[in-house]
């Protein structure tokens, strides 16, 4: 059953925290949604968060809603994994609850619930357009870190769903960095050929999403502790150049991995999406 847990007026629109059952995850899933003032239908931006986050981090920290209200943009921020007592977990912050990686897991103990790919692209869609005045035909997707990985891979694989894509400090090559290697091995098993559909650089190399996006905007802080060990955005610009995909990668001098970085450049991303929706 769809539930609205909180409603707050915000910049003339409404901010709601909701929960609904997902067939993909077999759990109740939480998300926040900002709806501008007016009847709609509104273009919709989905924002996917990073490791350890819930739907709350973007919602309270990103400072996105003033510009979203101006642009008439709905913004949806889902949780990053299934949660609950009956759901598998791991003591590490980068696996299990809070670390869904936007894949459909095939391996034990994750397979029954860790199906965030299907959750975001199917179940969340269904509830969004049944309950809110979004325009299903005008959707964009963005995200941060693990959520940037999610935004890039979901967009490239679903250009019929998403017409614009951007990311903040994304994991672009999960097959070759520690966070991704650990998560993809756990969720998808050791056969790396099955990882390619969840690796933005591999998707570009495989021609997935070719021609769908006129540009992809990526902001990356130069003082981000994860830049070298986990993120390496140059791998994405290299793969994009080889695939003929335009990418605007902006290295932001002095910025780190936090929401202080995200909030600084949020308005640019919202305008990037609004121009394309």
Of the candidates 221, 226, 233, 240, which one interacts with a copy of itself according to CB under 8 A?
221
d(CA 14, CA 5): 13
Nearer to a copy of itself, 1 or 9 (CB): 9
224 among known catalytic residues: yes
Could you tell me how many residues of this chain bind a copy of itself (CB under 8 A)?
A: 23
State phi, psi for 53 to the nearest 5 degrees.
-80, 160
Catalytic option among 32, 224, 269, 273? 224
Residue 87 structure tokens = 């759901």
d(CA 48, CA 143): 4
Q: Are strands 27-35 and 42-48 parallel, antiparallel or unpaired?
A: unpaired
Residues whose CB falls within 8 Å of the CB of residue 25, separated by 6 or more in sequence, listed in order:
82, 113, 114, 115, 116, 119, 123
Of the candidates 90, 206, 215, 256, which one interacts with a copy of itself according to CB under 8 A?
256
Catalytic option among 113, 257, 269, 273? 257
Nearer to a copy of itself, 85 or 253 (CB): 253
234 among known catalytic residues: no
Contact set for a copy of itself, span 27-86 (CB under 8 A): 60-61, 63, 65-66
d(CA 218, CA 261): 13
Catalytic option among 81, 145, 164, 173? 145
Binding window for a copy of itself (CB under 8 A); candidates: 7-15, 79-87, 111-119, 243-251: 7-15
Q: Give the CA angle between residues 242, 243, 245 to the nearest 5°.
A: 110
Give me the residues that bind a copy of itself (CB under 8 A), please: 8-12, 15, 60-61, 63, 65-66, 221, 223, 254-256, 258-261, 263-264, 267
């Amino acid at each position: 059953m769809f539930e609205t847990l909180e409603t707050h007026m915000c910049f003339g629109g409404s901010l709601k925290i909701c929960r609904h059952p997902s067939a993909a995850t077999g759990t109740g899933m939480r998300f926040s949604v900002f709806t501008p003032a007016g009847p709609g239908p509104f273009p919709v931006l989905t924002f996917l968060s990073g490791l350890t986050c819930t739907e709350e981090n973007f919602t309270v920290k990103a400072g996105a809603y003033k510009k979203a209200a101006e642009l008439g943009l709905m913004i949806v921020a889902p949780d990053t994994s299934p949660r609950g007592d009956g759901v598998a977990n791991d003591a590490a912050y980068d696996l299990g609850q809070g670390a869904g990686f936007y894949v459909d897991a095939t391996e034990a103990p994750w397979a029954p619930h860790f199906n965030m790919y299907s959750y975001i692209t199917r179940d969340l869609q269904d509830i969004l357009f049944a309950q809110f005045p979004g325009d299903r035909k005008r959707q964009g997707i963005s995200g941060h870190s693990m959520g940037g990985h999610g935004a890039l891979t979901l967009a490239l694989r679903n250009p019929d769903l998403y017409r614009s894509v951007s990311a903040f400090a994304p994991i672009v090559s999960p097959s070759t960095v520690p966070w991704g290697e650990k998560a993809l091995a756990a969720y998808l098993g050791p056969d790396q050929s099955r990882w390619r559909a969840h690796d933005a650089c591999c998707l570009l190399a495989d021609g997935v999403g070719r021609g769908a996006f006129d540009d992809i905007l990526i902001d990356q802080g130069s003082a981000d502790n994860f830049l070298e060990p986990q993120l390496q955005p140059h791998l994405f610009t290299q793969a994009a150049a080889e695939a003929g995909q335009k990418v605007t990668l902006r290295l932001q001098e002095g910025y780190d991995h936090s929401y202080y970085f995200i909030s600084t450049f949020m308005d640019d991303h919202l305008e990037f999406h609004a121009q394309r929706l």
